[in-house]
Structure 1
Amino acid sequence: MVTHRSFTKSLFATAILAMGIAGCSSMQASNKVTLTAQMTAAQEVPATASSGTGTAEAWLNKDTNLLTWKVSFSGLTGPATAAHFHGPAAPGSNARVVVPFTGTTSPLEGQATLTPAQAADLLAGKWYANVHTAANKGGEIRGQMVPKM
Protein backbone atom coordinates (compact mmCIF):
# COMPACT_ATOMS: atom_id res chain seq x y z
CA MET A 1 0.00 0.00 0.00
CA VAL A 2 1.37 3.41 -0.96
CA THR A 3 1.04 6.01 1.72
CA HIS A 4 0.97 9.73 1.22
CA ARG A 5 4.35 10.00 2.97
CA SER A 6 6.07 7.40 0.73
CA PHE A 7 4.50 8.95 -2.38
CA THR A 8 5.85 12.39 -1.35
CA LYS A 9 9.33 10.92 -0.70
CA SER A 10 9.28 9.18 -4.07
CA LEU A 11 8.21 12.37 -5.83
CA PHE A 12 10.96 14.34 -4.04
CA ALA A 13 13.59 11.73 -5.01
CA THR A 14 12.44 11.87 -8.64
CA ALA A 15 12.72 15.66 -8.64
CA ILE A 16 16.25 15.51 -7.21
CA LEU A 17 17.29 12.93 -9.82
CA ALA A 18 15.83 15.06 -12.63
CA MET A 19 17.73 18.12 -11.39
CA GLY A 20 20.93 16.07 -11.30
CA ILE A 21 20.44 14.89 -14.87
CA ALA A 22 19.72 18.46 -16.00
CA GLY A 23 22.88 19.59 -14.21
CA CYS A 24 24.92 17.00 -16.09
CA SER A 25 23.62 18.19 -19.45
CA SER A 26 24.53 21.77 -18.58
CA MET A 27 28.08 20.63 -17.81
CA GLN A 28 28.35 19.32 -21.38
CA ALA A 29 27.38 22.76 -22.67
CA SER A 30 30.61 24.14 -21.18
CA ASN A 31 32.40 22.56 -24.15
CA LYS A 32 30.62 25.06 -26.41
CA VAL A 33 32.23 28.48 -26.81
CA THR A 34 30.31 31.50 -28.11
CA LEU A 35 32.23 33.99 -30.23
CA THR A 36 30.99 37.37 -31.45
CA ALA A 37 32.01 40.28 -33.66
CA GLN A 38 30.58 43.70 -34.39
CA MET A 39 31.31 44.37 -38.06
CA THR A 40 32.05 47.90 -39.22
CA ALA A 41 33.72 49.66 -42.15
CA ALA A 42 36.37 51.12 -39.83
CA GLN A 43 37.74 47.62 -39.12
CA GLU A 44 38.39 46.91 -42.81
CA VAL A 45 42.05 47.09 -43.90
CA PRO A 46 42.04 49.61 -45.45
CA ALA A 47 38.93 51.13 -43.89
CA THR A 48 35.96 51.89 -46.14
CA ALA A 49 33.50 54.78 -46.08
CA SER A 50 30.48 52.48 -45.81
CA SER A 51 27.78 53.07 -43.24
CA GLY A 52 27.04 49.34 -43.21
CA THR A 53 27.14 47.36 -39.99
CA GLY A 54 26.74 43.78 -38.98
CA THR A 55 27.06 41.18 -36.29
CA ALA A 56 28.60 37.75 -36.39
CA GLU A 57 27.82 35.16 -33.77
CA ALA A 58 29.38 31.72 -33.77
CA TRP A 59 29.40 28.66 -31.55
CA LEU A 60 32.32 26.23 -31.45
CA ASN A 61 31.92 22.77 -29.94
CA LYS A 62 35.41 22.12 -28.55
CA ASP A 63 34.84 18.34 -28.49
CA THR A 64 33.99 18.03 -32.19
CA ASN A 65 35.38 21.32 -33.60
CA LEU A 66 31.98 21.92 -35.21
CA LEU A 67 31.54 25.65 -35.82
CA THR A 68 28.03 27.02 -36.33
CA TRP A 69 27.39 30.68 -37.21
CA LYS A 70 24.85 33.38 -37.93
CA VAL A 71 25.95 36.61 -39.61
CA SER A 72 23.60 39.56 -40.11
CA PHE A 73 24.32 42.84 -41.88
CA SER A 74 22.59 45.92 -43.27
CA GLY A 75 23.26 49.35 -44.76
CA LEU A 76 25.85 48.17 -47.29
CA THR A 77 26.61 50.15 -50.44
CA GLY A 78 24.96 47.38 -52.47
CA PRO A 79 24.19 43.69 -52.32
CA ALA A 80 26.80 41.47 -50.71
CA THR A 81 28.86 39.59 -53.29
CA ALA A 82 30.67 37.29 -50.86
CA ALA A 83 31.15 36.73 -47.14
CA HIS A 84 33.39 34.50 -45.09
CA PHE A 85 35.73 34.00 -42.14
CA HIS A 86 39.37 34.95 -42.72
CA GLY A 87 42.38 34.00 -40.65
CA PRO A 88 44.72 33.80 -38.97
CA ALA A 89 45.12 37.54 -38.53
CA ALA A 90 45.34 40.02 -35.69
CA PRO A 91 43.12 43.12 -35.84
CA GLY A 92 44.50 45.46 -38.51
CA SER A 93 45.97 42.62 -40.58
CA ASN A 94 44.53 40.79 -43.57
CA ALA A 95 44.44 37.03 -44.13
CA ARG A 96 43.10 34.45 -46.53
CA VAL A 97 39.61 32.96 -46.48
CA VAL A 98 39.38 29.96 -44.14
CA VAL A 99 35.62 29.28 -44.16
CA PRO A 100 33.35 30.64 -46.91
CA PHE A 101 29.69 31.33 -46.16
CA THR A 102 26.94 29.99 -48.39
CA GLY A 103 24.78 32.71 -49.90
CA THR A 104 25.00 36.49 -49.75
CA THR A 105 21.65 37.51 -48.24
CA SER A 106 21.47 38.47 -44.56
CA PRO A 107 21.27 36.56 -42.31
CA LEU A 108 23.86 33.99 -43.31
CA GLU A 109 23.80 30.75 -41.37
CA GLY A 110 25.97 27.66 -41.67
CA GLN A 111 28.40 25.28 -40.12
CA ALA A 112 31.76 23.67 -40.79
CA THR A 113 34.09 21.27 -39.02
CA LEU A 114 37.42 22.95 -38.26
CA THR A 115 40.86 21.45 -38.00
CA PRO A 116 42.47 21.61 -34.54
CA ALA A 117 44.78 24.40 -35.79
CA GLN A 118 41.82 26.41 -37.14
CA ALA A 119 39.91 25.99 -33.87
CA ALA A 120 42.96 27.18 -31.92
CA ASP A 121 43.33 30.28 -34.13
CA LEU A 122 39.62 31.08 -33.81
CA LEU A 123 39.68 30.76 -30.01
CA ALA A 124 42.81 32.94 -29.90
CA GLY A 125 40.91 35.78 -31.63
CA LYS A 126 42.77 35.40 -34.94
CA TRP A 127 39.72 35.13 -37.22
CA TYR A 128 37.48 37.85 -38.60
CA ALA A 129 34.13 37.88 -40.38
CA ASN A 130 34.04 39.84 -43.62
CA VAL A 131 31.32 40.91 -46.06
CA HIS A 132 32.23 42.05 -49.59
CA THR A 133 30.30 44.15 -52.12
CA ALA A 134 30.92 45.23 -55.72
CA ALA A 135 31.95 48.70 -54.50
CA ASN A 136 34.28 47.20 -51.88
CA LYS A 137 35.74 44.07 -53.43
CA GLY A 138 38.32 43.63 -50.66
CA GLY A 139 35.61 43.82 -48.01
CA GLU A 140 33.08 46.42 -46.92
CA ILE A 141 32.57 45.53 -43.25
CA ARG A 142 34.60 43.38 -40.95
CA GLY A 143 34.71 42.27 -37.34
CA GLN A 144 37.25 40.33 -35.29
CA MET A 145 35.76 37.17 -33.72
CA VAL A 146 36.34 37.06 -29.96
CA PRO A 147 35.17 34.57 -27.36
CA LYS A 148 32.24 35.90 -25.35
CA MET A 149 32.90 35.85 -21.65
Structure 2
Amino acid sequence: MHQTLRKILPLAAATLLAFSTAAAAKEVSLSGDFAGENGATNQPSGHVSATLDTVTHQLRYTIDYQGLSGPVTIAHFHGPAGPDVAAGVMQLIPGPYRSGMSNSVTIDAATQSALLNGLSYVNLHTKAHPKGEARAQMTVSPSPGM
Protein backbone atom coordinates (compact mmCIF):
# COMPACT_ATOMS: atom_id res chain seq x y z
CA MET A 1 0.00 0.00 0.00
CA HIS A 2 2.72 2.49 1.00
CA GLN A 3 4.75 1.62 -2.08
CA THR A 4 1.72 2.24 -4.31
CA LEU A 5 1.08 5.60 -2.65
CA ARG A 6 4.72 6.60 -3.16
CA LYS A 7 4.31 5.94 -6.87
CA ILE A 8 0.90 7.60 -7.24
CA LEU A 9 1.40 10.72 -5.11
CA PRO A 10 4.16 12.30 -7.25
CA LEU A 11 2.09 11.67 -10.38
CA ALA A 12 -1.00 13.16 -8.75
CA ALA A 13 0.99 16.19 -7.58
CA ALA A 14 2.46 16.74 -11.05
CA THR A 15 -0.99 16.47 -12.63
CA LEU A 16 -2.44 18.94 -10.14
CA LEU A 17 0.42 21.36 -10.76
CA ALA A 18 -0.07 21.14 -14.54
CA PHE A 19 -3.78 21.88 -14.24
CA SER A 20 -3.27 24.75 -11.78
CA THR A 21 -0.64 26.35 -14.06
CA ALA A 22 -2.97 26.07 -17.05
CA ALA A 23 -5.81 27.55 -15.02
CA ALA A 24 -3.59 30.44 -13.91
CA ALA A 25 -2.71 31.39 -17.50
CA LYS A 26 -4.40 34.64 -18.34
CA GLU A 27 -4.64 36.15 -21.77
CA VAL A 28 -5.10 39.90 -22.00
CA SER A 29 -6.16 41.72 -25.17
CA LEU A 30 -4.40 44.97 -26.03
CA SER A 31 -4.83 47.46 -28.85
CA GLY A 32 -3.70 50.83 -30.12
CA ASP A 33 -4.40 53.16 -33.05
CA PHE A 34 -1.62 54.81 -35.04
CA ALA A 35 -1.28 58.57 -35.37
CA GLY A 36 1.55 60.67 -36.77
CA GLU A 37 4.36 61.99 -34.60
CA ASN A 38 7.74 63.73 -34.76
CA GLY A 39 6.59 66.25 -37.36
CA ALA A 40 5.07 63.77 -39.79
CA THR A 41 3.14 65.89 -42.30
CA ASN A 42 1.30 62.94 -43.84
CA GLN A 43 -1.62 61.19 -42.17
CA PRO A 44 -0.38 57.79 -40.99
CA SER A 45 -3.07 55.55 -39.58
CA GLY A 46 -3.63 51.95 -38.65
CA HIS A 47 -4.11 49.64 -35.73
CA VAL A 48 -2.24 47.21 -33.48
CA SER A 49 -4.08 44.30 -31.89
CA ALA A 50 -2.28 42.01 -29.49
CA THR A 51 -2.82 39.20 -27.01
CA LEU A 52 -0.52 38.79 -24.02
CA ASP A 53 -0.20 35.56 -22.05
CA THR A 54 0.74 36.87 -18.61
CA VAL A 55 2.21 33.52 -17.52
CA THR A 56 4.45 32.71 -20.50
CA HIS A 57 5.07 36.40 -21.40
CA GLN A 58 4.21 35.58 -25.02
CA LEU A 59 2.91 38.61 -26.90
CA ARG A 60 1.12 37.86 -30.18
CA TYR A 61 0.35 40.87 -32.37
CA THR A 62 -0.94 42.05 -35.73
CA ILE A 63 0.04 45.47 -37.06
CA ASP A 64 -1.85 47.23 -39.85
CA TYR A 65 -0.80 50.64 -41.12
CA GLN A 66 -1.06 52.99 -44.08
CA GLY A 67 -0.19 56.55 -45.05
CA LEU A 68 3.49 56.48 -44.11
CA SER A 69 6.07 58.51 -46.04
CA GLY A 70 7.86 55.31 -47.06
CA PRO A 71 8.65 51.77 -45.97
CA VAL A 72 9.05 50.97 -42.29
CA THR A 73 12.77 50.65 -41.54
CA ILE A 74 12.37 49.38 -37.97
CA ALA A 75 9.62 49.03 -35.37
CA HIS A 76 9.64 48.72 -31.59
CA PHE A 77 7.57 48.62 -28.44
CA HIS A 78 8.69 51.65 -26.41
CA GLY A 79 8.06 52.51 -22.78
CA PRO A 80 7.34 53.03 -20.07
CA ALA A 81 5.57 56.20 -21.17
CA GLY A 82 2.10 57.66 -21.23
CA PRO A 83 0.56 59.26 -24.31
CA ASP A 84 2.71 61.93 -26.02
CA VAL A 85 5.76 61.08 -23.88
CA ALA A 86 8.85 59.61 -25.53
CA ALA A 87 10.61 56.59 -24.04
CA GLY A 88 13.31 54.09 -24.88
CA VAL A 89 12.99 50.83 -26.75
CA MET A 90 11.63 47.95 -24.68
CA GLN A 91 11.17 45.29 -27.37
CA LEU A 92 12.21 45.04 -31.02
CA ILE A 93 9.46 44.05 -33.43
CA PRO A 94 11.20 41.72 -35.89
CA GLY A 95 10.79 42.34 -39.63
CA PRO A 96 10.13 42.05 -42.45
CA TYR A 97 7.85 45.04 -42.07
CA ARG A 98 4.59 45.21 -43.99
CA SER A 99 1.05 46.17 -43.15
CA GLY A 100 -0.83 43.16 -41.82
CA MET A 101 2.24 41.57 -40.28
CA SER A 102 1.64 39.15 -37.43
CA ASN A 103 4.20 37.63 -35.13
CA SER A 104 4.91 36.82 -31.51
CA VAL A 105 7.72 37.68 -29.13
CA THR A 106 8.58 36.74 -25.58
CA ILE A 107 8.77 39.90 -23.47
CA ASP A 108 10.38 40.61 -20.12
CA ALA A 109 8.55 41.53 -16.91
CA ALA A 110 9.16 45.29 -17.32
CA THR A 111 7.66 45.31 -20.82
CA GLN A 112 4.70 43.25 -19.62
CA SER A 113 4.09 45.68 -16.76
CA ALA A 114 4.27 48.68 -19.11
CA LEU A 115 1.80 47.06 -21.52
CA LEU A 116 -0.67 46.13 -18.77
CA ASN A 117 -0.55 49.66 -17.36
CA GLY A 118 -1.01 51.53 -20.65
CA LEU A 119 2.60 52.73 -20.61
CA SER A 120 3.88 51.23 -23.85
CA TYR A 121 3.53 52.22 -27.48
CA VAL A 122 4.39 50.79 -30.87
CA ASN A 123 6.57 53.09 -32.95
CA LEU A 124 7.03 52.72 -36.71
CA HIS A 125 10.24 54.32 -37.99
CA THR A 126 10.86 55.36 -41.61
CA LYS A 127 13.83 56.83 -43.48
CA ALA A 128 12.13 60.26 -43.47
CA HIS A 129 11.33 59.97 -39.75
CA PRO A 130 14.08 57.92 -38.06
CA LYS A 131 12.80 58.89 -34.59
CA GLY A 132 9.39 57.46 -35.45
CA GLU A 133 6.64 58.44 -37.87
CA ALA A 134 3.62 56.67 -36.41
CA ARG A 135 2.79 55.80 -32.82
CA ALA A 136 0.10 53.57 -31.31
CA GLN A 137 -0.31 53.84 -27.54
CA MET A 138 -1.24 50.38 -26.27
CA THR A 139 -4.15 49.92 -23.86
CA VAL A 140 -5.85 46.89 -22.37
CA SER A 141 -8.99 46.11 -24.35
CA PRO A 142 -12.17 45.26 -22.45
CA SER A 143 -12.88 41.55 -22.27
CA PRO A 144 -15.98 40.33 -24.12
CA GLY A 145 -19.06 40.61 -21.94
CA MET A 146 -17.75 43.54 -19.91
- TM-score norm. by structure 1 comes to 0.73
Which residue is equivalent to 1:119? 112
Q: Larger Rg: 1 or 2? A: 1
Which residue is equivalent to 1:55? 47
Aligned: 1:38 with 2:33:
yes
The residue correspondences of 1:94-105 to structure 2 (distance < 5 A) are 94-103=86-95, 104-105=97-98
Deviations 1:28-54 (A, max 9, x none): 59811000000011xx2x342221211
SS at 1:145's partner residue? strand
Q: How many residues align?
A: 120
Aligned: 1:130 with 2:123:
yes
In structure 2, distance between residues paired with 1:29 and 1:51:
42
The residue correspondences of 1:67-86 to structure 2 (distance < 5 A) are 67-86=59-78
Following superposition, the deviation at residue 107 of structure 1 comes to: 2.0
Which residue is equivalent to 1:107? 100
Runs of 4+ in 1 over 6 A off after TM superposition: none
Segments of 5+ residues of structure 1 without an aligned counterpart are 1-26
SS at 1:117's partner residue? helix
